[in-house]
């Protein structure tokens, strides 16, 4: 039977995975390890086989380029009969909606997750196909992901949305994630991947910041949300340089936080909310 | 940052959808807990209890009882056709070793055919392995009576039972896609056969229609008779053999939205 609620961190399903479910989860993970799709990294939770941690790296030539989007998945006891629940954790503590289909609460609207209309989950799907579907939401023109928007409401909306997303990607999902501003408990293996990927993308990050430097201090417009968002490219460039120095010097210790469960994490996030959102005026 | 757009439009309708979905799930859960995945044999007259004041249905139950001795109820969870069909087919096969062996061969060749159609090898394998495993377990049992008991036990274990359903859904989807020129005319609207399969066949809990039955029959090389029992004024239930002119080996009772198994 389908379950209610979308949030893996608030899922109330008790009990243990069926034997078929746990072997399927392991095989799902194994296929990603042996044949990793570009920009997609997963690791199973050390303590709970139901929980999967995933990082989707924003694809080149999209406004998400080089960003680290950290997702937590929870598989139901009868996986793959029913789909996992998925939450985007990279939201600047619930402050940034990165996509028309991915809310600032972390909810991912996708028919195969049962959170949107359209083709439902099929047991023939797997974790990699699910994550690829999510990755495809982070595309070149996310504005048009919004259902019913085949043309811009105001001319230029799509371009403005891209500018906003590009800035927030650098601010929240690159700098914020590397500095672990929101104290997320990201598994070590994924942090290592972030460190390496950061260096690979570093020139691009800098180029984006420099190309947009003329916008520094100006206001960005998010067509989907009212409120003021200021450009901080000058500041972002400084943060990028600092992070790079730390990663290169192997003194990259933003993550030396005691690990915590996802429930703890939710509370911590709330505590950290003020800090995290300080750069944005609302 | 106020998510105005989100809260005004998307989330508002999303929440309502979610509420409706939650309610629906609650109902589904209650049904699921009260009905076995596949029940025991019951006399046809057991249907009378459900329709004690319903003249139309009582007449039709009488008609049904003149042709069939027993029925076996299945859980009304949207998978009932696939579960009933697979169960009834296997149960029938257990009476004839040669038919069983022939069927085993059909299933053995089916995985490769699905992978060729583009289904991901390892997920297909998962369900195929279970299907074959069940066939082997049943085939190894000496007497038909014991094998049928095992069949009943396996089909009431959610894990096995659902995996059998999944594999038949995949086989049905494969059949539809392989013969899409034929099946496309049965699909309403703009949808392609592949779209239809992704939306209506492969996902669990999606109810089955005529087109699912046709394709499932073709995939399993089986004839089925569906007896339709509904509110129509005729005193006799309408019967439909699929494929047409077939000698049916599986008999199913259809009441709006649900399939059970019938026994001559």
d(CA A121, CA A129): 11
Handedness of CA A232, A238, A241, A246 (dihedral sign): negative
Task: Supply A277's token pair.
Answer: 């959102």
Q: Find, in chain B, the residue whose alpha carbon is nearest to that of A25.
A: B123
3-state helix, strand, coil in chain B (%, to 5): 60, 10, 25
Q: Which residues of chain B have pLDDT under 70?
A: 1-15, 18, 32
**pLDDT above 50: residue A39:** yes
A251's tokens: 């003194």
Sequence-separated (6 or more) residues with CB below 8 Å from residue B81 = B207, B208, B212, B213, B216, B252, B259
For the ranges A135-139, A261-265, B169-173, the lowest mean pLDDT is seen at A261-265
Cβ–Cβ < 8 Å for B42, B71: yes
Say whether pLDDT at A262 is over 70: no
ipTM over 0.85: no
Q: Closest approach of chain B CAs to the CA of A246, in angstroms?
A: 31
Q: What's the full length of chain A, in residues?
A: 282
Q: Per the CB < 8 Å rule, is B203 touching A96?
A: no
Burial string for B135-149 (b: 16+ CB within 10 Å, else e) reads: beebeeeeebeebbe
- Judge: A124–B123 Cβ closer than 8 Å, yes or no: yes
Q: Give me the pLDDT at residue A151, please.
A: 84
Which tens digit of pLDDT belongs to each residue from A240-256?
999 999 998 876 655 55
Give the pairing type, strands B70-74 and B38-43: antiparallel
**Structure confidence at residue B14 (pLDDT):** 54
Nearest Cα to B174, choosing from B99, B109, B224, B129? B109
Hunting for tokens 């087919």 — which residue is that? B89
pLDDT at residue number A131: 97
CB half-sphere exposure, A82, CA atoms < 13 A: 21
- Which of A19, A81, A124 has its CB closest to that of B170? A124
pLDDT of A227 over the 90 cut:
no
Is B120 an interface residue toward A (CB < 8 Å)? yes
The answer to whether A59 and A113 are in contact (CB under 8 A) is: no
Decide if B20 touches A, using CB distance below 8 A. Answer: no
Residue A31: both structure tokens together: 């296929």
Tell me the pLDDT band of A148, cut-offs 50, 70 and 90: confident
Closest CA–CA distance from residue A249 to any residue of chain B (Å): 36
Asked if pLDDT for residue A264 goes beyond 50, the answer is no
Q: How many CB contacts within 8 angstroms connect chain A with chain B?
A: 110
Q: What positions of A carry a catalytic annotation?
A: 109
Chain B nearest CA to A69, separation (Å): 20
Is A272's pLDDT higher than 50?
A: no
Q: How far is CA B28 from the centre of its chain?
A: 17
Domains and CATH numbers, chain A: 8-279 (3.10.110.10)
Q: Quick check: B13 contacting A, CB < 8 Å?
A: no
Most confident of A79-88, A112-121, B121-130: A79-88
Structure tokens at B123: 């997920």
Strands B224-228 and B250-255: parallel
Residues 6+ away with beta carbon under 8 Å from A136: none
Asked if residue A92 lies in contact with residue A14, where contact means CB atoms within 8 angstroms, the answer is no
Of the ranges A52-66, A131-145, B12-26, B219-233, which one carries the lowest mean pLDDT score? B12-26
Note whether A78 contacts B130, CB cutoff 8 Å: no
Q: What is the C-alpha to C-alpha distance for residues B185 and A269, in angstroms, rounded to an integer?
A: 54
B16 at A interface, C-beta within 8 A: no
Q: What are the structural domains, with CATH classification, of chain B?
A: 38-73+223-264 (3.30.200.60), 76-222 (1.20.1300.20)
A101, two tokens: 């289909």
CB-based contact, B128 to chain A, within 8 Å: no
d(CA B180, CA B191): 12
Q: Phi/psi zone of residue A214: left (φ > 0), alpha (ψ -120 to 50 degrees), beta?
A: alpha
pLDDT > 70 fraction of chain A, expressed in percent and rounded: 87
Say if B206 is an interface residue toward chain A (CB within 8 Å): yes
Backbone dihedral angles phi then psi of residue A260, each to the nearest 5 degrees: -145, 165
The predicted-structure confidence for B138-169, as pLDDT tens digits, reads as follows 999 999 999 999 999 999 999 999 999 999 99
Q: What is the dihedral of CA B64, B66, B71, B77, to 10 degrees?
A: 0
pLDDT average, residue stretch A106-131: 93
Mean pLDDT taken over chain A: 86
* Cis peptide bond upstream of B243, omega within 30: yes
Beta partners for B42? B71
CB contact under 8 A, A129 and B120: yes
Cα distances (angstroms) measured from residue B253 to each of B42, B150, B172: 13, 24, 20
Mean predicted confidence (pLDDT) in A86-103:
94
């Amino acid at each position: 039977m389908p379950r209610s609620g979308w949030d893996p961190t608030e899922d109330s399903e008790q009990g243990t995975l069926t034997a078929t479910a746990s072997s399927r989860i392991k095989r799902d993970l194994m296929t990603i390890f042996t044949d990793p799709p570009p920009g997609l990294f997963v690791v199973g939770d050390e303590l709970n086989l139901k929980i999967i941690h995933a990082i989707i790296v924003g694809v080149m030539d999209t406004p998400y380029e080089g960003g680290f989007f950290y997702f937590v998945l929870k598989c139901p006891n009868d996986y793959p009969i029913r789909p996992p629940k998925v939450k985007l954790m990279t939201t600047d503590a619930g402050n940034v909606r990165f996509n028309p289909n991915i809310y600032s609460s972390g909810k991912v609207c996708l028919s195969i997750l049962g959170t949107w209309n359209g083709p439902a989950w099929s047991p023939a799907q797997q974790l990699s196909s699910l994550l690829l579907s999510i990755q495809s939401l982070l595309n070149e023109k996310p504005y048009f992901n919004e259902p019913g928007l085949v043309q811009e409401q105001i001319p230029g909306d799509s371009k403005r949305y891209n500018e906003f997303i590009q800035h927030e990607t650098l601010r929240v999902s690159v700098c914020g994630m590397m500095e672990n501003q929101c104290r997320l408990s990201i598994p070590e293996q994924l942090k290592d991947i972030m460190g390496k990927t950061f260096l690979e993308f570093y020139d691009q990050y800098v180029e984006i910041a420099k190309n947009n430097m003329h916008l520094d201090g100006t206001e960005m417009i998010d067509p989907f949300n009212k409120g003021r968002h200021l450009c901080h490219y000058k500041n972002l460039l400084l943060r990028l340089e600092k992070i790079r120095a730390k990663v290169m010097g192997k003194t990259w210790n933003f993550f030396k936080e005691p690990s915590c469960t996802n429930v703890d994490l939710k509370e911590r996030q709330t505590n950290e909310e003020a800090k995290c959102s300080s750069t944005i005026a609302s | 940052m106020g998510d105005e757009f989100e809260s005004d439009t998307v989330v508002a309708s999303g929440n309502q959808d979610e509420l409706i979905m939650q309610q629906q799930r609650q109902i589904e859960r209650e049904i699921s807990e009260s009905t076995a995945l596949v029940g025991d044999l019951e006399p046809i007259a057991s249907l009378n209890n459900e329709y004690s004041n319903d003249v139309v249905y009582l007449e039709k139950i009488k008609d049904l009882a003149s042709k069939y001795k027993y029925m076996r109820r299945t859980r009304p969870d949207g998978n009932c056709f696939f579960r009933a069909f697979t169960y009834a087919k296997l149960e029938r096969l257990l009476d004839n070793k040669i038919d069983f062996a022939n069927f085993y061969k059909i299933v053995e060749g089916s995985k490769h055919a699905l992978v060729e159609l583009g289904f991901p090898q390892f997920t297909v394998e998962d369900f195929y392995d279970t299907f074959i495993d069940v066939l082997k377990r049943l085939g190894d049992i000496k007497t038909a009576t014991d094998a049928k008991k095992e069949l009943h036990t396996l089909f009431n274990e959610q894990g096995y039972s659902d995996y059998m359903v999944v594999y038949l859904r995949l086989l049905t989807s494969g059949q539809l896609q392989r013969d899409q020129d034929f099946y496309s005319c049965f699909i309403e609207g703009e949808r392609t056969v592949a779209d239809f399969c992704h939306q209506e066949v492969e996902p669990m809990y999606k109810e089955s229609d005529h087109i699912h039955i046709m394709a499932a029959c073709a995939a399993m090389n089986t004839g089925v008779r569906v007896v339709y029992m509904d509110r129509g004024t005729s005193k006799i239930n309408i019967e439909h053999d699929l494929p047409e002119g077939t000698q049916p080996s599986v008999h199913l009772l259809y009441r709006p939205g649900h399939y059970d198994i019938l026994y001559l």
